[in-house]
Every structure is written in C-alpha cells, then in structure tokens.
Structure 1
Amino acid sequence: MVTIALDPTPYHSTHSLLEFPDVAARAGYDALQLTPHPDFGPFFRYPKADDALVRNLKKRAADAGVRIPAILPVQRLAWPDETRRRAAVRNFRRIIELAVQLEVPVINTEFSGRPDELQEDSEAAFYTTMEELLPIIEREGIRVNIDPHPDDFVEDGLDAWRVIRALNSDSIGFVYVASHTFHYGDRATSLIPELGARLGAVYAADTFDHNRSHGLRYITNPPGNAVRVHQHLRIGDGDVDWGELFGTLAASGYFERDDALVVSNVFGEDETADETSRFQLDRIRQLVDEARSAD
C-alpha cells in the first residue's frame, strides 16, 4: 500500500503546527510529513519541540486519523565550516530523539553542503558527520533518506547515490524529488533501478527543465549568475515526464513495498493550497494506478 503524504509547508504562515493533521485530513490525506517549522524543527537551528508538544502532536494526529510517516529536517550536515557542522550534528541528534518519540520511522533530509567551496571539503564534512550520527541512526532503527538538493555540493543524482552508497548502510537511502529531476541529470529511468531498495521516498511536484530553450527556460540577470532555479508546481504544470517517472517506479517494484512513500510538496501556489492539495492527492493516486496497470 503506497502512503501518500501531504507536505504542509504552504500552511506554515496560516496554521499552527498542531493544526496540520486536521489540514491534511480535510484535504483527504491520511498521512503528513512534518517539514521545517519554527515550533518543531527550524531550518539549520536546534529543534524547539519539547515532550508536551510531541504528546499534543501525536494526539492531534491520532484524533484526525492522520499518520506521520516521516519528518523533514534540514541541517548543515555537510557544511565545510566545522562550527556549523558540529551544530548540525547536535541538532540532528535531537531530531532523531523527536522521531523516536513520535514513532516516526523515516527522516528525509538533504546533504546541505556548498557547491562554491571545494566540493571535497563538503564531502569530507558529510562523512565526518555520518561517522557520528550513523551509529545512533542504526541503533534507533531509523531510516534516513537524503536528497541531493540543487545548490548542494553534489547535485547529480548518480553522483549523490555514490556518496550515499559509500556509507555501506541500509539505514541510509535516497529521496527522489521530482522537481529536482533536471538537476539530477534527468535520469529517472536509469537512476531509480540503480537505487533499488535504497530509494526511500519520492516527492511529487512539477518544475520546468532549466536546460531547455538553449538554457533560457528561466532568465536571471546578470547572465551567468550561479543560481539553481526550480519550482514545486502542480503535477502537469511543468516539464517532468510523470508517465516515465511513475512507470519506472512501478517497474522497479517501489509501489509494492510496504514502506513506499510519495509526498505531495507543491510550494508555489499557497493561495490555492486547499484545492491544490486535493488535486495532488487525486493525481498521485491516478498515476500510481496507471503505472501499476501498465507494468
């Protein structure tokens, strides 16, 4: 059974953390992925949740009939500056504690290094971080999946998989973010089979291919800016080949796994968040059914 979870980021400015389970339920979801929020796990900072907040969140989720299969923190795990890297390790230890308290089995995250520093410095920082965190992750039975986010020290999907594979741990997997696919190298049909059981989560949002139109799909000024532009649009509003992506997922057996997770994470349409959330749920279900039928 594929779990389809809502990313509540569009509601961060209009709803409290404890309201997110009800928001997800009203949109038809029975699952919610927690994303960086000031009351829980802010970007790059120490988590702010205490035991009471965790208890209240678990109760609100149970009352709404909504599971929390994963949380998404973003910390500077591969930052080349040692002070910030050490802070990220401390913060992530607390995130693992919160996941255990919430009985959440999956943490989805990013490398969070720098492409404009020497890449080997960020890679070295990442492995130093994982030397500290991996024993805790494995002891607690948590699965951590990593997305090579645009503007990270590694952006190409295959190169990122090599970095993850080198850890030699089944506890560390890959997040395939559809709206990052063109930064990954547009290689879903070859990368997903390579990942196999280490594909831990898929995010469903659309984007334009920044390589098309002679690199002018987006225009930034001045020309040559070192930027990585992408969106998180409704499925169908960009250039992602959804039939190819979901067909590859089906052929790889992903949808038959008990832990298969697809997260709707549209960010660019907050003014239509309710409608968009419902649309995404229906479209993801349709894509899963079509891919299974064709497989």
Structure 2
Amino acid sequence: MVRIALDPTPYHHDHGLLDFPDIAARLGYDHLQLTPHADFGPFYRYPKADDALVAALRKRVADAGITIPALLPVQRISSPEEPQREAAVRNFSRIIRLAVELGVDTLNTEFSGRPERSEDSEAAFYRSMETLLPLAEREGVRINFDPHPDDFVEDGLEAWRIIRGLNSSSVGFVYVASHTFHSGDRAASLLPELGDRLGAVYAADTFDHHRSHGLRYISNPPGNAARVHQHLAIGDGDVDWTGLFATLGRTGFLDREDAILVSNVFAEDERADEISRFQLERLRALIDTGRAAASNEGAGADA
C-alpha cells in the first residue's frame, strides 16, 4: 500500500539533520522525505554531505525503524541563464549519487525555471536532462517533477506533456494538492492519464485564489506576478480531499507499494507535532475512504 512520509521542513530550524528520523518515528510515521537542508542538499547550492554524514544518517534511519523513500532536491536545472543551469546539473548529479549511497531510489523535485522566459526555460530543462537522465537511469533512480507556482510550467497537463516528451519511465510526476488552483484544478482528469507515472502526492491544503472574482487575496501593486498559495492542514482550505482520494483510489495509486504520500504542512510550525500527527490520522482515513470508493465503483460496474 502507498507509503505516508513526513516532510520535516517545520523542524529544520530547531533540530539537526540527524534528528529527523527520530522525530518522524516519534510522531508515528514509518517514512521520511528528506527536504533541502543546509547540511545535506541546500536549495540551489552544491550538496554538503560527505560519506561520513551519509553513513551517520543511514544509521539513524535504521535505528529509528523508518525509511527514507525519497529526497527532495531543488536546483535550477531549467534556468535560462547558462552558468546557473550548468551549476545545477553538477549539483543535481551529486544528489543522485548521494541518493544511491543513502539507499534512496526516488527524487521528487521541481522544474525550477522562470515563467517570464518559459520557452528558454523549457529548452534548458531538456538540455539538463540530456545529462541527468542517463545518470538516473544507470543508477536506478526515478525523478518526479512538480510544476510549482512561479515555474516556467505551472499547469499540470502541460507539465505532463513536458515529462512525457522525455520518453523515459524513469521520470514521473509529483501532484501537490496545495498547488491545485495554480495547476488547473484537474486532478480528476489528469491523474488517470498519468497512471503509474504519478510517483508522489503531497498533502497540504490551500485556498482557491480564483474565488471572489480574483479578489480573495489582494497584493500590491495590483496586477503583480506574485503566486500566493499555502501549505495548510487538511481541511483548512478549499481542496476537495474526498474527490482527490477517490481519484487516487480509482487509479490504483493507493494500492501501489512504490507510491508516496507526503505530509507537508508549512503554515503552523509552532504546532508542528500536533499538526503532523493530525495529518497522519487524516491521511490514513482518506486512504481508507478512497479505496472504499474505488471498490464500490468497481462493484457497481460489475453489477
């Protein structure tokens, strides 16, 4: 069945890297997705982990009785600025090797280009993947991409087209619930098309910024290009969780052993323990609901 992983970002400021496995286990999680951390793989910079740190982390993971099913690196591999892109490829290549040393076979990441230069960023993405994809395929590492708000591709369907263009089963999709209203609010139609190329789903809520005729959020100056979204606890926003998990049930995602659900609430660090436990409870309930909905639909179709 699908694995539920904790995103430890709310704990980055108060705990060391090697504390994260114990934190995840203490909160009831069996899995941890390692997000950008200054001691391991910081945002946009060269990874800082050496063999000794990787070995220490592996031991802490084993001692805690959990697993790390995925790393989340963020590097500017789609930057239209060539020096940035070249550095990002070098950094990402190192992350792939670190994943192998850590015994991790999945990287969940972002395209990391620029929306105002979408054509140049797309070209940069494919250029970077000419180097990264053969390395990932050789090492048995899968790379899943999230079309993040303020990236060169934000719409989920268009992101899938870009991924599909690589023509490799080693590349997949990350569906982020808190990006629902930036990515087209198309889970019911997109997720079935992705099939087993959907590698991960991130679980946090958000408000629909399109509501109230676009005035739900007011940012100044009017018409600026800011992308506003939240990572709230499930139920605190506008995401249709019942519908999302019914779709995940129909597509078989919830029954796949290689699939990952990541709890990634960032809005309430002061209640991180409480929220993390709540998220785990809600995700387990939603999995049951989604699987039951899929089973009932199957029974109805056979009747």
Name the aligned partner's letter for residue 185 of structure 2: D
Match runs of 1:32-181 below 5 Å: 32-117=32-117, 119-181=118-180
Q: In 1, distance between residues paired with 2:217 and 2:260?
A: 31
Aligned with 2:97: secondary structure? Answer: helix
Question: How far has the Cα of 1:256 moved from its partner?
Answer: 1.4
Name the aligned partner's letter for residue 274 of structure 1: D
Cα deviations by residue, 1:178-232 (Å, 9 ceiling, x for unpaired): 0001111000000001111100000000000111111112111111111110000
Aligned with 1:234: secondary structure? Answer: coil
Aligned with 2:199: secondary structure? Answer: strand
Residue equivalent to 1:239? 238
Q: In 2, distance between residues paired with 1:134 and 1:294?
A: 37
Name the aligned partner's letter for residue 35 of structure 1: T
Unaligned runs of 5+ in 2: 295-303
Residue equivalent to 1:5? 5
Q: In 2, distance between residues paired with 1:294 and 1:74?
A: 35
Residue equivalent to 1:29? 29
Question: How far has the Cα of 1:294 moved from its partner?
Answer: 1.6
Q: In 1, distance between residues paired with 2:255 and 2:27?
A: 25
**Count of matched residue positions in the alignment of Structure 1 and Structure 2:** 294
Residue equivalent to 1:199? 198
Aligned with 2:83: secondary structure? Answer: helix
Residue equivalent to 1:249? 248
Q: In 2, distance between residues paired with 1:165 and 1:38?
A: 32
| Higher mean C-alpha displacement, 213-222 vs 169-178 | 213-222
Root mean square deviation of aligned Cα:
0.5
Q: In 2, distance between residues paired with 1:217 and 1:88?
A: 36
Residue equivalent to 1:263? 262
Unaligned runs of 5+ in 1: none
Q: In 2, distance between residues paired with 1:42 and 1:157?
A: 26
Aligned with 2:182: secondary structure? Answer: helix
Question: How far has the Cα of 1:94 moved from its partner?
Answer: 0.3
Cα deviations by residue, 1:234-268 (Å, 9 ceiling, x for unpaired): 00000000001010000011111121110000001
Q: In 1, distance between residues paired with 2:192 and 2:293?
A: 17
Residue equivalent to 2:290? 291
Aligned with 1:173: secondary structure? Answer: strand
TM-score (norm 2): 0.96
Q: In 2, distance between residues paired with 1:284 and 1:138?
A: 31
Name the aligned partner's letter for residue 147 of structure 1: D
The answer on 1:230 being equivalent to 2:229 is yes
Aligned with 1:109: secondary structure? Answer: strand
